[in-house]
Every structure is written in C-alpha cells, then in structure tokens.
Chain A
Amino acid sequence: MGGLQKKKFERGSATNYITRNKARKKLQLSLPDFRRLCILKGIYPHEPKHKKKVNKGSTAPRTFYLLKDIRFLLHEPIVGKFREYKVFVRKLKKAYAKIEWSDVERLKENKPTYKLDHIIRERFPTFIDALRDIDDALCMCFLFSTFARTGKCHVQTIQLCRRLTVEWMNYVIASRCLKKVFLSIKGIYYQAEVMGQLITWLVPYQFSHDHPTDVDYRVMATFTELYTTLLGFVNFRLYQSLNLVYPPKLDSKSESEINEQNEEDYAMSSESYLEKLSALSASLARVVSSVEEEEAQLDQFPTEGEDMENMEAREKELKQEEKAKKLFEGLKFFLNREVPRESLAFVIRSFGGEVSWDKSVCIGSTYEVTDETITHQIVDRPSVDNQYINRFYIQPQWVYDCVNAKILLPVEDYFIGVTLPPHLSPFVEEKEGDYVPPEKLKIVAMQQGHKSVTEDEENEDEDSNEEAEEEEEDNDEEEEEEDEEEEENLKKLEEQRSKGKSLQVKVTPGKMKVENPARLEQEEKAEEKRLAIMMMKKKEKYLYDKIMFGKKRKVREANKLAAKRKAHDDAEKAKKKARK
C-alpha cells in the first residue's frame, strides 16, 4: 500500500498550540514584555484538552497559547515599540556607564512611548462592552489610588488612578446610580447601575496596606495601565451622557460655597483642584447649565389586560426607585473626624444629602458644626460633649443600612453607645425557604409600609421584630398547611355530622352560606393539585416526594435556626436585664 508514513505531531492539536517560550521567540520579545503584551491585548493562556498530544508526548505541565492568537499578535504595532524600548534602555545604560550626561538627557527626552487607545477600541468595540468589563478596572484603580507613594509603582500611575476614581465617584454622585454598599472586613463593596449594567467594585479601607510579597507588581501595573486608559474613556463618555464638563469642573455656585480659607495648608495649588474634586462635596458644572431636569415620564402606550398590569407594576417600581434616589434629600449631615470621610461623603451625596466636615479634616467643607440646620451628625465614639438638641447623633452604619434598605431606618438603633444591629450583606438574595435573619425581616416589613410600627416607641420595636418573625414563619408553613387544611375541613365536617346525630332533631332557620369566591378558588386549586398528585406515575411521584421532602427539610432547618436565634436573643435580653 502506498502513501507516506504519517509523522506524529504534525497535524491536529499539536499544531494548534504553541508553548510560551516558542511564542516569545517568535515575537522576539523578552518574557516580561511578552507577558505585558498578552495582558494588553487580552490573549490568555489556554489549557489544551489532550496535553500529551500537544506537548509532543511529554506530560510536563507547560503554558500553552493558541498559535492563531500568537499570529494575531505578530501584527501588533506595540511589539515594535517594545523592541524600541529595549534598545533605548540599552543605550541609556551605556550612557550612564560612560557618564555622558548630555547623552542621557537626549535619550531621556526621546524615550519611546506607546498608546493603548487602539487596543481599547479593538477589545471593546462598543461602549456597552467596555461598561461590562469596567468592574475590574474600577477595583484596580481604586486599589492603586490608595497606594503609598513609596516606589512600589510609578507615582504618576497612582496620581492618574486617583484622578480617574474621583471622576468616577463624581459621576456616580451626579447620576445617583448607587444601589448597594457593603462594609466587609476586606474593604467596602459598592454596586451601581450604570446604563442598565450592574457594576460592582471593591474599595480598600484607607491606610490598610501591607505589601504582600507573593504578588507580581509588574503584572498588576500592566493591568492598571490598560484599565486606566479604559476607565478614562468610559468616564469621558459617561460625563458626556450627563452633559457634564470633562475633565470635571466644579459648579461655580458650589465652588463659592466651599470654605476658601487655609487652602494652602492642604495641597499645593497644582493639586488643590483635584483635592477639591475629591472632597465630593460640590456638584459639577454642566455643559449646558440646564434647568432642574424634569422627571422623565414613561411613554404611555394604549395597552390592554395583562400589559396594563405589567405597566402599572413597572411604573410603581420606577416610582420607588426615584424615591430611593432621593433618600437623603433635605438632610444635612456633619461628619466627625473619626469616621471614614470619603466613603460616607460619597454615599450621602449620591443619595442627595448635604454633607460637611470640620475644616481641619479635609478641604472642601461647606458648613461648620455650629450650623443649626444640621439634622444628623455622624459620630463613632462612645460619647460627645456639648450636643445640640435639634440633631441626631448616630453611628456611621446607619447611613449604609439606610441605603441598603432604601428607606430611612429609625435612628434609635444607631444612637451613640447603642449596640448596633448587624450590618447585613445586601448582595445576598434569599430564595424561598432559606433562613432569613430577623433584622432583614424587619427591614422588609418596614419597606412594605408598616410605618406605624416604626413611628412607635422603641419598646415596640422588639415586638414588631417578633411579629415579623411570626409572619415569616406563617409564610413558610403555608404550603404545609395547604395539605393539612383539607384534612381539617374533613374533620370538621365529620364532627358536625356526628354532632348532628347526637343532637335532637331540630329545625333551625336556614342561614345564607356566605361563599367566599377567593376561598372557593383556593380550594379548587388545592383539589386539583391533590388529584394531580394522585394521578402521578410511580416514578414521578417518587421524584415529587423527594422534592417536597427537600423543601420541607429546608423549612425545618430555617425554623430551627430561627428558634435558635430567638433563644439566643432571649438569653441576651435576660443577661441585659440581669445587668441592669
């Protein structure tokens, strides 16, 4: 039989992949440069399905790239820039070694640089694509902006990151799109909804850095390089969408409000503007100084039946959202110096509140402590001397909890020295039958409009707590009860019959049996369900039973946890009382 002998590893997956080292050599780049290029261009290593085939018979773990990807990289103009840079470094070193300072100067002046604009355009063909990937960029920029300027990375990078994050925060404030805040032990998680995209980012607490040694700073810096470019362009577009001036300018009205004294103490004149911006206390200037934006009315279309209901529901939702956006409107906050200023200012301002602080804390304070119109003062210390009567002294958690609950919570739980209720994560979404902590139930109850409870005294709060608990339990048990209800009905009937027998025969005037149509409907449904269960095949029945069992178990567990919690609370209460 004819034909050449097939050689191994000359077709198939072995030719589709290329090892990292080979790729590097193909591109004529050093390993760090190659890594940087891959990060910038968004080309990631790939794990082949059949490693042994790809690796030409060896099973040693290696990093593989797709050959086509590397071929694509060959066309990148930045590769040339990398090579140029290499040569530049070599020349510079030589000049230094020869102590030729004029050469050093000249070389430094002609340092080869590159732009990433075309890469951004290529990787994110539309604005929405960019928005979807902005999470990472935000996290990285917020992280780098908190770095100390100690030479772990370029000072310029830190400054740029700071500028971009301040711009972003100002945008969020201007557009009021913040949704959730979560204070964790790691950092502060924020979530905002920008143009329909949910964007989550993590901001580290200030001054909390120890520099871990097992992190590759070069890689992180490369990512940041890309992300600063991306975030800048996104910011520009977002500012444009709100008719704001970019780069951001303070509103002339609000700028005049800021206390101008001692400006020199905070920052150099070159930096003071950014500092003022980052104070977040003033609103931004608009391109067209618009009149108060009229609230957009939903377009009304003639609709029928279900659509109408949907529309109404949506309208209601929208209204609620609008209301939530103006949560802190009309409130005036004052921050004491021990609370995290930036985070609180950001949150309060993005819900329409006014905020200020002591002028020695930071630039950009707008009013003093002595202002009589202040409604809330945020304090995080055991006691405050010379308090004002007409304002609440509350702990910072109140602000965050209000934002997450979308209503103004009663301030009583957050007074100075009071043990705070737990700070619940707004990112948890409970499914049916899960254990829900009572604090959350309370909040849900309040959201649904049990305002009467909240307006009452503190003492009744606890009661409402329990009530809510009970309610929830009721809800949980409803399904169980459905089954039981019928049995009860039957029993009642029987009893009535038996009673009827034992009693003397007596004719009583007939009563109109009031038929509750809703009730009837429910019964009918329950009956149907029961019949359906009866008609099930054995196999399906088995599955059904299993599912029901699982559900019940979940409910049982939740109940158990709730009971445990109640016992815990009772014990705590008892302890408190004993202490008193």
Chain B
Amino acid sequence: MAAARKPKRVAASQPGFLTLKSSTNPTDLYSSKRKRVNKNKKKNWNKHSDINDVEDFLEDIRHQERTTGGLLAEKPDDSLFFVDIGQPKKIEEKGKSSRPLRIDLILQHDSLVPPPKDVLAYQQPNAKKLRRSAQLAAKGVAPRRQKLLLNRRTAPRPTKNAITEANNNPNRDYYDIWGQETKDTADPWYLQQTKKKLVKRPEKLNAKPSVLPAVEVIAPGGSYNPDFFAHQSLLQEAHEIEVVKQKEEHKIERQLAYNKDDAATETIFQEQVQGLVEGEDDDEVWASEGDEGDEEQEEEDGAVGAIAVAQKKTERQRKRERAEKVKEQQRLAEKQEVEKKQQLFQLRTIKTSIKKEDQKTKERQTKRKAKQEAQKAQPRRLGRLKFQPQDMEVQLSDELADSLRRLKPEGSVLKDRFKSLQKRNLIEPRERAKFKRRHKVKYVEKRAFREIS
C-alpha cells in the first residue's frame, strides 16, 4: 500500500500538477449537489478533472507558433510593430491573372512551423558499418531494405488487354502455330485434372460432311463475255429450272382456284333433274330398304346361330381329328424327304439359281453404293426447312456487257457463300424470324390533322 501511495504524493508535490479540485470555480462544486467521485480510478481522474485552462494555454501557444512562427512574447519589437506612414502607393494591377487562384491558396502551406528535422540526415556514417556494407555488396548480398523493396510485389497494373486481345483486332500478330511443339513438362495427371490440357479431338470430326468443293466455279456460260454456245447452254439450264418452278406454281394455283363454271353447271343440272326423277328415286329407295331389312334379319340369325353352335366335340370327332393331324404330318414329312432326294438331281438348277441370287445381291449392292455416293454430294435435311438452292446467275443475251467496264455483276457473292455453306451441310437452312406483333395496331385519327383520303 505504501508503495502505491508514494508516487501519488510525489506527483502531487510537483509544481505543474493540477489537482482535481483546483478547478477555477470551487463554488461551483460546493453550491449544488456535491458530487462524490472515487479517486482511486484513473478513469475518474480523466473524467472529473478540468484541464480546459491548460488546453487553452497550449492551444494559444500552438496558434502563435503556426501563425507567426514562434511565441509573440519572444519576438523582437521590430517584427511586431511598424511605423504608420500613410497609405502605400497603389501599384497598377495587371488584371485578375496576377492574383493567385483560390485553389492554389487553399493548397498553400499555411503553417509557419518548420517541418521536423530529418535526424538521420545529420548522422555521421559509421565507418565500420560502411565497410561492412561494401563487403556485402561485393559479395552480392543486398541490404535488407533493398531486398524488401525488390521482393515487394508490384501492384498489378491496369492492363488494357481487352483491346489488344480482341479477336478481330486488325493489328493482331500471328506466329508459327504449326512449327512449335508445346512442351508439357508438368505432370500429365495434374494438367488433366486442372483442365489445362485440352481433350483430344476425335479423328472423326475432321471428316467433312459433304464431298462438294468449297468453291464451285460457275459454268463457262457465266463468263462476262461468254462463248455463244456455252452461254446458250447455261440459258437453257436456267430456263428448265424456271419451267419446273412455273409448273409447280400453276399446279397450286389450279388446285386453289374456285371453279365457278363447274359449280354453276352442276347446280343447274341438279335443279333441272330434281323434279323429274323424284318419284322413281323414292320407289327405289324404299324397295332397297325393304331388301336390306330382310338380309339383315338373316344375317342376325346366322350370327346368333354361330355363337350358339359352339358345342362340345364328341370323343370320336376328337380321335378322328388327331388321326388326321398325324396323317397330315406324315404326308408332309414324306413329301419333304422326297423333295430332298429330288434335289440331288436338281443340283445344277439350284446352283444356277444361287448364282442368280448372288448376282442380284451384288447388283443391288453396287446400286446402293452408287446411290450413297450420289447422296454424299446432296444437301441433307438438317432441320425444319429443306435446302433451297439460290437462283442461278444468268445474264440474258441483251444484258451481256460489251466490255468489262460496263459489266453489271449478277447475284451476290455473300449469298453464294451462305448457300454454299448450307449446301455442304455445315449449317442448317433457316429463315429469318418473322416479326410478330403482340398487340394489334389501332388506327386513330389525330385531332391535330386529318388523313387525306
């Protein structure tokens, strides 16, 4: 306990120490409720001791230092006072530009306290240390600070890789992709598990889905200045295609057309005939009805009988049937035996027939193979739509240009390429999605102006 008290006393005896009760207004404490505070806790010292005056004093000192660079009391008089000799002559202002900007003023260093001295800068280097560091440097060992600097991870730079890496960047660079062999030094298992090694592409996928060449050259008639006959043959070809198309169109038209004449004549005919044939018709109808009725009755009887007839067979009947069955089997077996024997004598005919069969199968095989070969060049059905070849590019005789300058290109290469891709089964034929309106468009005449109609 004594040890604990001792420093307290010492502290209190010092001149700068401020006691708890030494606040400026002791009446304050006594006047109203006296506050009881335990003084054995540091927290309470802080809370209930008033240190405002000290703070004010220190603040004042700091303020003085900041604004004037030292205590005012220590300054010489010259720096504090000046002789008033009236207004100084105004210097002609050169406009606003001479005044510093407000932003610069804000950023100016406004304290007059000098920055703290760099202590290390004044330190004399230790010769021993210097020698040692030189030795280490000669060995190649960097000092710790430098090492740390070197080892510091450089912050990842904001790379603009997005622009350089884009696939269609016109300035992208290429390299010898087939020349270099990739070196897989790492463990293959590791590479596989971390998906760093690509799955091998099956050989089958490199087969082309069609035997057609990528670029089909147009027929010789498609020259800009064609040979007469080549041009004619091309025209003929185009013509035939067109004729087939037209035929189909006509057919559909014919099927869809409502034939007025036919319908009209039929109705007239019916009207004319109606009255005349009525009586006979009726009689016949009746007569036939009567007959049908009789037949129906008979049939019904028969049907009823058939169901009822399913009676039990007698023992004799069964025996007889069994015997007949055995007999039949024997007969068949005998027949087969005889046939087998006969076949011995028919060997030659059998041989020829076999040969014929073989030949037939062979023929069929070749045919099938030929068909398959032909199919390979055909576009397959790969989706909802069938492949539709584009219109043939043809120029009529009077459309042909007499010189290269006047040539009007026919068709579109873009479409040609697109159709070629479809033809070679690389993509499925599709059509442009049709625009569907979700809500009906309402037509409203605006009040501002009227539609002229």
Collect the chain B residues with CB atoms within 8 Å of residue A381's CB.
Answer: 405
B106 to chain A minimum Cβ distance, whole angstroms, is 26
Chain B positions 140 through 162: 1 when the CB is less than 8 Å from some CB of chain A, otherwise 0: 00000000000000000010111
Asked if residues B172 and A423 are in contact (CB atoms below 8 Å), the reply is no
Collect the chain B residues with CB atoms within 8 Å of residue A331's CB.
Answer: none
Q: In the complex, which of the residues A63, A214, A247 contacts B383, with contact meaning CB atoms closer than 8 Å?
A: A63
Tell whether B177 is near chain A: CB-to-CB under 8 Å.
Answer: yes
Q: Could you tell me the distance between the alpha carbons of A117 and B180 in the complex, rounded to whole angstroms?
A: 13
Q: Which of A106-114, A288-296, A316-324, A540-548 is the interface stretch?
A: A106-114
Asked if residues A205 and B407 are in contact (CB atoms below 8 Å), the reply is yes
A87 to chain B minimum Cβ distance, whole angstroms, is 15
Q: In the complex, which of the residues B175, B425, B430, B432 contacts A213, with contact meaning CB atoms closer than 8 Å?
A: B432
Collect the chain B residues with CB atoms within 8 Å of residue A114's CB.
Answer: 167
Q: In the complex, which of the residues A117, A184, A214, A232 contacts B223, with contact meaning CB atoms closer than 8 Å?
A: A184
Q: Could you tell me the distance between the alpha carbons of A42 and B207 in the complex, rounded to whole angstroms?
A: 10
Q: A143-B417, A339-B405, A427-B217 are in contact. Are A232 and B172 (CB under 8 A)?
A: yes
Q: Which of A151-159, A367-375, A456-464 is the interface stretch?
A: A151-159
The count of chain B contact residues (Cβ–Cβ below 8 Å) is 73
Within 8 A of B (CB), among A188-232: 189, 200-202, 204-205, 208-216, 219-220, 223, 225, 228-229, 232
Within 8 A of B (CB), among A218-254: 219-220, 223, 225, 228-229, 232-233, 235-237, 240, 246-247
Q: Could you tell me the distance between the alpha carbons of A380 and B405 in the complex, rounded to whole angstroms?
A: 6
Q: Could you tell me the distance between the alpha carbons of A140 and B418 in the complex, rounded to whole angstroms?
A: 10
Tell whether B60 is near chain A: CB-to-CB under 8 Å.
Answer: no
Tell whether A386 is near chain B: CB-to-CB under 8 Å.
Answer: no
Tell whether A115 is near chain B: CB-to-CB under 8 Å.
Answer: yes
Q: In the complex, which of the residues B158, B177, B404, B412 contacts A183, with contact meaning CB atoms closer than 8 Å?
A: B404
B384 to chain A minimum Cβ distance, whole angstroms, is 5
Within 8 A of A (CB), among B381-431: 381-384, 393-395, 402-405, 407, 409-418, 421, 425-428, 430-431
Asked if residues B170 and A160 are in contact (CB atoms below 8 Å), the reply is yes
Q: Could you tell me the distance between the alpha carbons of A166 and B430 in the complex, rounded to whole angstroms?
A: 33
Collect the chain B residues with CB atoms within 8 Å of residue A109's CB.
Answer: 158, 160, 162
Tell whether B40 is near chain A: CB-to-CB under 8 Å.
Answer: no
Q: A160-B169, A235-B174 are in contact. Are A214 and B415 (CB under 8 A)?
A: yes
Asked if residues B160 and A437 are in contact (CB atoms below 8 Å), the reply is no
Collect the chain A residues with CB atoms within 8 Å of residue B177's CB.
Answer: 117, 120-121, 233, 236-237
The count of chain A contact residues (Cβ–Cβ below 8 Å) is 105
Asked if residues A185 and B409 are in contact (CB atoms below 8 Å), the reply is yes
Collect the chain A residues with CB atoms within 8 Å of residue B430's CB.
Answer: 216
A276 to chain B minimum Cβ distance, whole angstroms, is 16
In this complex, what residue of A is CB-closest to B383?
A: A63
Q: Could you tell me the distance between the alpha carbons of A159 and B198 in the complex, rounded to whole angstroms?
A: 32
A418 to chain B minimum Cβ distance, whole angstroms, is 11
Asked if residues A422 and B215 are in contact (CB atoms below 8 Å), the reply is no
Q: Could you tell me the distance between the alpha carbons of A493 and B214 in the complex, rounded to whole angstroms?
A: 61
Tell whether A72 is near chain B: CB-to-CB under 8 Å.
Answer: yes
Q: Which of A43-51, A484-492, A508-516 is the interface stretch?
A: A43-51
Q: Could you tell me the distance between the alpha carbons of A111 and B161 in the complex, rounded to whole angstroms?
A: 9
Tell whether B228 is near chain A: CB-to-CB under 8 Å.
Answer: yes
Asked if residues B381 and A61 are in contact (CB atoms below 8 Å), the reply is yes
Q: A240-B176, A397-B404 are in contact. Are A183 and B217 (CB under 8 A)?
A: no
Tell whether A163 is near chain B: CB-to-CB under 8 Å.
Answer: yes
Tell whether A425 is near chain B: CB-to-CB under 8 Å.
Answer: yes
Asked if residues B431 and A186 are in contact (CB atoms below 8 Å), the reply is no
Asked if residues A561 and B223 are in contact (CB atoms below 8 Å), the reply is no
Collect the chain B residues with CB atoms within 8 Å of residue A573's CB.
Answer: none
Q: In the complex, which of the residues A140, A339, A395, A420 contacts B417, with contact meaning CB atoms closer than 8 Å?
A: A140
Tell whether A439 is near chain B: CB-to-CB under 8 Å.
Answer: yes
Q: In the complex, which of the residues A163, A225, A232, A424 contacts B227, with contact meaning CB atoms closer than 8 Å?
A: A424
Asked if residues B198 and A200 are in contact (CB atoms below 8 Å), the reply is no
Within 8 A of B (CB), among A410-430: 419-420, 422-425, 427-428
Q: In the complex, which of the residues A117, A163, A214, A435 contacts B170, with contact meaning CB atoms closer than 8 Å?
A: A163
Asked if residues A215 and B206 are in contact (CB atoms below 8 Å), the reply is no
A197 to chain B minimum Cβ distance, whole angstroms, is 12
Q: Could you tell me the distance between the alpha carbons of A40 and B405 in the complex, rounded to whole angstroms?
A: 39
Q: In the complex, which of the residues A115, A240, A397 contacts B167, with contact meaning CB atoms closer than 8 Å?
A: A115
Collect the chain B residues with CB atoms within 8 Å of residue A44's CB.
Answer: 209, 425-427
Within 8 A of A (CB), among B266-324: none
Chain B positions 189 through 204: 1 when the CB is less than 8 Å from some CB of chain A, otherwise 0: 0000001001101100
Q: Could you tell me the distance between the alpha carbons of A279 and B127 in the complex, rounded to whole angstroms?
A: 72
Q: Which of A94-102, A122-130, A496-504, A527-535 is the interface stretch?
A: A122-130
Asked if residues A123 and B206 are in contact (CB atoms below 8 Å), the reply is yes
Q: Could you tell me the distance between the alpha carbons of A129 and B417 in the complex, rounded to whole angstroms?
A: 21
Q: Which of A131-139, A261-269, A304-312, A352-360 is the interface stretch?
A: A131-139
Asked if residues B428 and A139 are in contact (CB atoms below 8 Å), the reply is no
Asked if residues A565 and B162 are in contact (CB atoms below 8 Å), the reply is no
Asked if residues B168 and A225 are in contact (CB atoms below 8 Å), the reply is yes
Q: In the complex, which of the residues B176, B227, B380, B425 contacts A439, with contact meaning CB atoms closer than 8 Å?
A: B227
Q: A114-B167, A236-B175 are in contact. Are A186 and B199 (CB under 8 A)?
A: no
Q: A61-B384, A216-B430, A232-B174 are in contact. Are A182 and B223 (CB under 8 A)?
A: yes
B206 to chain A minimum Cβ distance, whole angstroms, is 7
Chain B positions 114 through 141: 1 when the CB is less than 8 Å from some CB of chain A, otherwise 0: 0000000000000000000000000000
Collect the chain A residues with CB atoms within 8 Å of residue B383's CB.
Answer: 45, 61-63
Q: Could you tell me the distance between the alpha carbons of A424 and B431 in the complex, rounded to whole angstroms?
A: 37
Tell whether A575 is near chain B: CB-to-CB under 8 Å.
Answer: no
A233 to chain B minimum Cβ distance, whole angstroms, is 5
Q: Could you tell me the distance between the alpha carbons of A189 and B214 in the complex, rounded to whole angstroms?
A: 13
Tell whether A57 is near chain B: CB-to-CB under 8 Å.
Answer: no
Asked if residues B224 and A160 are in contact (CB atoms below 8 Å), the reply is no
Asked if residues B205 and A422 are in contact (CB atoms below 8 Å), the reply is no
Q: A69-B205, A75-B198, A220-B414 are in contact. Are A423 and B224 (CB under 8 A)?
A: yes
Indicate the member of A42, A77, A186, A213 with the most B CB atoms within 10 Å: A186
Tell whether A340 is near chain B: CB-to-CB under 8 Å.
Answer: yes
Asked if residues A185 and B224 are in contact (CB atoms below 8 Å), the reply is yes
Collect the chain B residues with CB atoms within 8 Å of residue A130's CB.
Answer: 178
In this complex, what residue of B is CB-closest to A205?
A: B409
Q: In the complex, which of the residues A136, A187, A395, A427 contacts B409, with contact meaning CB atoms closer than 8 Å?
A: A187
Indicate the member of A108, A215, A565 with the most B CB atoms within 10 Å: A215
Q: A200-B217, A396-B404 are in contact. Are A123 and B201 (CB under 8 A)?
A: yes
Asked if residues B168 and A189 are in contact (CB atoms below 8 Å), the reply is no
In this complex, what residue of B is CB-closest to A340?
A: B404
Q: Could you tell me the distance between the alpha carbons of A121 and B178 in the complex, rounded to whole angstroms?
A: 7
Collect the chain B residues with CB atoms within 8 Å of residue A214's CB.
Answer: 415, 431-432
Collect the chain A residues with CB atoms within 8 Å of residue B395's CB.
Answer: 185
Q: In the complex, which of the residues B175, B217, B223 contacts A423, with contact meaning CB atoms closer than 8 Å?
A: B223
Tell whether B329 is near chain A: CB-to-CB under 8 Å.
Answer: no
What are 12 A-B residue pairs whose CB atoms fall within 8 Å in the complex? A77-B195, A122-B201, A139-B413, A182-B223, A186-B218, A202-B413, A204-B409, A236-B177, A237-B177, A381-B405, A425-B218, A425-B222
The 8 A-B residue pairs whose C-beta atoms are closest, nearest first, are A425-B220, A159-B170, A135-B214, A47-B380, A232-B174, A204-B413, A208-B409, A75-B199
Which residues on A are within 8 Å of B, measured CB to CB? 35, 39, 42-47, 61-63, 68-69, 72, 75, 77, 108-111, 113-118, 120-123, 126-127, 129-130, 133, 135-136, 139-140, 143, 154, 156-157, 159-160, 162-163, 182-187, 189, 200-202, 204-205, 208-216, 219-220, 223, 225, 228-229, 232-233, 235-237, 240, 246-247, 338-340, 380-381, 395-397, 419-420, 422-425, 427-428, 435, 437, 439, 561, 564-565, 568
Besides A210-B412, A380-B404, 6 other A-B contacts (C-beta < 8 A) = A118-B198, A156-B166, A185-B393, A186-B218, A214-B431, A425-B230
Which residues on B are within 8 Å of A, measured CB to CB? 158, 160-162, 165-170, 172-179, 195, 198-199, 201-202, 205-206, 209, 213-215, 217-220, 222-230, 380-384, 393-395, 402-405, 407, 409-418, 421, 425-428, 430-432
